[in-house]
Structure 1
Amino acid sequence: MPTGFILKRRQTRKGYGWIEVYGSTCVIQWRPAIMPQPRMMLVVTGDDFGYCPRRNQGIVDCFQAGGISNVSLLVNTTAAKDAADLAKRHNIPVGLHANLSEGIPVCQSVQQASTLINHHGFFHGKMGFRQALERGQLSMKQVELELSAQVRQFRELTGHLPHHMDGHQHIHVLPEVREVFAQVLSDFSIPYTRVPVEPGLHSCPWLPVHLQRFCTQVEKDALDSIPVFTRYGIRWPDVYLGLTTMGQNMSVPNLQRALSHALAADHSGTTSSSASGSNQSVVTAELMVHPGYPSHPEEGGCGEGPDDFSQSADRQHELNVLREPSLLALYSQERVQLCAFKDL
């Protein structure tokens, strides 16, 4: 046989190999496949981990099916320890879902008597917190104490500090709170947060008026938070998704639409300058989701029992959509690579 004669070639997904013959010697050669660069690094974050046992199980099932890549843990919930144990067992990347609006505070001094709780000893609620803030009734020192206590509680439960920290019901981008929130992240060297500014938000006819109004206000607060987070050196992905795809609004076509908006958007005014590192051709993004199985009445929550959203079929609907083979195929087709915040 002539020198360098290729005797056999085999192609695989990981590359291709061949056997070259040199006289009486056979040499096996291998060349790995050149994988196409992803267009997007997408953190799919399952919020409200720890809310109840059925939420925890749904999130674990979703992670194992490849539907989410990251979770955000509530630490003042009845099933927080169970959630932290599950994260360790299944190697689920976990951050902190800071909570100032639902349930009982973690900080002892804030539990006793503070501006953050009502006469029943619970936080003021999603809208009640906002109303008290607008009236100037909340102590930012107590906000700082509670946020710091939740970070320490997270460390006690998981054995490490959170790599990212966001706000339950988007409280972290509210006026005054955003400054305290940024200071706490800086104090604990937590590098990433969430900036809920979603491309395509204002062209969603399926959103009811009240939800469109709430999401628009969240977006305004988030935009106003960018200079504060920037000043503290906090990072966030180039783009955020999830306001338009919650609950029954989640579908593969709606997620495809959201991804298209994200890939087409100009991120220069809303992104952390260091979020994508030096590789600016790859868009970094976070998709906020809420998978799970419906909560049983009186089981779970943050001390007051589960809310209506948690007891509804919306959670399982999101879980089912996120596990759909057509969605996972869409990620592959669009060169979207799922990752955790620690991978950005």
Structure 2
Amino acid sequence: MLPGLSASGRYGCDRGVQTMAFRSISTRLSLYGMVGIVAAAVHYGVLIALRWAMPIWLANPLAFLAASLTGYLGHARFTFRPETGGARFARRWLVVQYAINLTVCGLLPLALPAATLATLIGTNASTAVLDTIFVFTPTVLNALIWSRAARFTQRRRSHGQRPRLHADDLGLSQATNEAILGLIEAGQLDGASLLVNGPETRSALERWHQLATLKPNQQLCLHLCLTEGPSSAPCDAVPDLVNNHGHFNLSFGQWLLLSLLPRRHRRRRRVTTQLRLEISAQIQRFRQLCGSDAIALDGHQHIHLVPLIHDTLLSLAAEQRITWMRSTAEPLPTGLPLRCWWDAIRGAGLLKWSVLQLLSAKASRRQRRQGIASNSGFAGVLFTGQMSGAPLQACWQELCSRKLPDDRLQTPAQLLVHPGAPLDCDLNVAGFAVSAPFASSPWRQREWRAIQQLMQTTGTAN
């Protein structure tokens, strides 16, 4: 017993807590009911107004959409205000609620035909049962959906970890080096990934090592490159991977198709042998340049996630001391204008995101089984190459809302960017024809400025 607290006192405290909980539940139910009544009235009113201008089969879904929108706004503003703070739910929850309700209302009559129920329990009783089911089922579904939406919103309002801001393609050009190393020096980046076969790798590392004494916590990863640029292994040792100039000639799509070949297929076995040599050569070169023992690794154009390449990396992990590999499992950000989603669709960002989501899910499970660490969150694929303005802000906030990792195999979330100064060289000559349009785009400077503004606004420069 606590000092100074009698049994009757404890009983009174318990009763008080129970009373408060009951009042909280009753208030929540009352608000839920009120919003539901308003939504039902909106449904009825819109249906009556539209039925004079269009057939009922079209008017009813539109009226139901108006009711869904009412519930979407009302539950966020009133019913679940403690979780949302009055902010709207993410728009995806409106889409989910509308789609599920339309599907259920369409399937219930098929799943529970009145004739069947009438045979079992009688005509009058079957009508009452059907009416109850048709009213009760959507109500319960909506309660579950809006509750999940409220918890989703609450998680994003809470403060989690600060994501690590990371840049790819260090060593690609002097323009890329200037932007990345300038941000590192200003404390506005947390790490970078190095192309060991890049045209400006050595000049990048000279300055990186100079900055390392001032910024010792910056992470430098191996940016495994297998789609462009010169090979690190001798060309005659990897003839299936390179062209006559000694530059890689297999695209991401071609590597993906090779992964579909049976493991015993002659070409796959031959390519796998050469791939092992090339990966080992790039790791060896990275160690020579950087002096690293344990290897943190990601891929140029995320090539490390292609199944054939990922399998080879896992088979080399123990021998080469690969301790970390990037995951591109990217949650969809909230609060973005619709034009940003249109840009993601038009620029194939959504397609690329979908493919890498599937590849990351498979890769992450296998990495964990081998004890290889990875980032707990990620952003940077959906709006690749255009990470500024609203997309950058939304991705940053999305990752900030994630909980701190409590697993030794999970490192903080990573936000990927590609800053660069105006390009002043021809990357085609160096064998980087795929990256040339990307590196010469004005978006590289926009991303550079956007990162600087983000760090100044949030005050999170390291």
- Change in 2 beyond 3 A, CA 1:76/1:205: same
Q: Structure 2 length as normaliser, TM-score?
A: 0.56
What TM-score comes out, normalization by structure 1 length? 0.74
- Alignment partner, residue 57 of structure 2: none
Structure 1 Cα separation of the partners of residues 406 and 373 of structure 2: 5
How far apart in 1 are the matches of 2:303 and 2:437?
Answer: 20
1:322 counterpart = 2:451: yes
Q: How does 1:10-159 map to 2 (within 5 A)?
A: 39-91=160-212, 92-108=218-234, 110-123=235-248, 124-134=250-260, 137-138=267-268, 139-159=271-291
2:395 and 2:415 in contact (8 A); partners too: no
Whole-angstrom CA distance in 1 between matches of 2:351 and 2:227: 19
Larger RCO: 1 or 2 (CA < 8 Å, sep 6+): 1
Measured against aligned partners, the alpha-carbon deviations of 1:312-341 in whole angstroms (never above 9, x if no partner) come to 1121111111011xx125544xxx686xxx
Q: Give the C-alpha shift of residue 265 in structure 1.
A: 5.6
Q: How far apart, CA to CA, are the structure 1 residues paired with 2:378 and 2:406?
A: 12
- Structure 2 vs 1, CA of residues 244 and 213 (structure 1 numbering), >3 Å: closer, same or farther? closer
Equivalent position of 2:368 in the other structure: 230
**How far 1:100 moved relative to its partner?**
1.0
How has the CA–CA distance of structure 1 residues 188 and 199 changed in structure 2, closer, same or farther, with 3 Å as cutoff? same
| CA deviation profile, 1:128-180 (whole Å, cap 9, x unmatched) | 43344445744222211111110110111112235411111111111122121
Q: What SS does structure 1 have at the residue aligned with 2:382? A: coil
Relative distance call for 1:265 and 1:40 in structure 2 (3 A) is closer
Aligned length: 286
Contact 2:165 2:417 in 1 (8 A): yes
Among 230, 239, 254, which residue is 2:377 paired with? 239
Aligned to 1:275: 409
Q: Closer, same or farther in 2 for the Cα pair 1:186/1:199, shift >3 Å?
A: same
Q: In structure 1, what residue type is equivalent to 2:226?
A: L
Q: Could you tell me which residue of structure 2 aligns to residue 286 of structure 1? A: 414
Question: Per the alignment, do residues 111 and 337 of structure 1 end up closer, same or farther by CA in structure 2, a change over 3 Å counting?
Answer: farther
1:255 maps to 392
Residues 272 and 313 of structure 1, relative CA distance in 2, 3 Å threshold: farther
Q: Percent identity among equivalent residues?
A: 24
When residues 256 and 113 of structure 1 are mapped into structure 2, their CA distance, relative to the original with a 3 A threshold, is closer
User: 2:423 matched to 1:295?
Assistant: yes
1:251 maps to a residue whose letter is S
In our comparison, the structure showing a higher alpha carbon Rg is 2
Structure 2 segments unaligned to the other structure (5+ residues): 1-158, 213-217
Q: Distance in 2 between matches of 1:260 and 1:317?
A: 19
Shift of 1:246: 2.8
Report the CA distance shift for 1:301/1:196 in structure 2 as closer, same or farther (over 3 A).
Answer: farther
- Tell me the amino acid that sits aligned with residue 208 of structure 2: A
Q: Cα gap change, 1:101/1:201 in structure 2, threshold over 3 Å: closer, same or farther?
A: farther
- How far apart in 2 are the matches of 1:323 and 1:337? 9
Say what the alpha-carbon RMSD is for the aligned residues: 2.9
Report the counterpart of residue 5 of structure 1 in structure 2. none
**Paired position in structure 1 for 2:293:** 161
Task: Give the corresponding residue for 2:323.
Answer: 191
1:262-315, Cα deviation, whole Å (9 max, x unpaired): 345689xxx8942358xxxxxx20111111113224258853455110111121
2-structure distance, mates of 1:337, 1:239: 20
Distance 2:209 2:425 in 1: 28
Q: Secondary structure at the match of 2:229?
A: coil
Are the structure 2 counterparts of residues 71 and 111 from structure 1 closer, same or farther at C-alpha, using a change threshold of 3 Å? Answer: farther
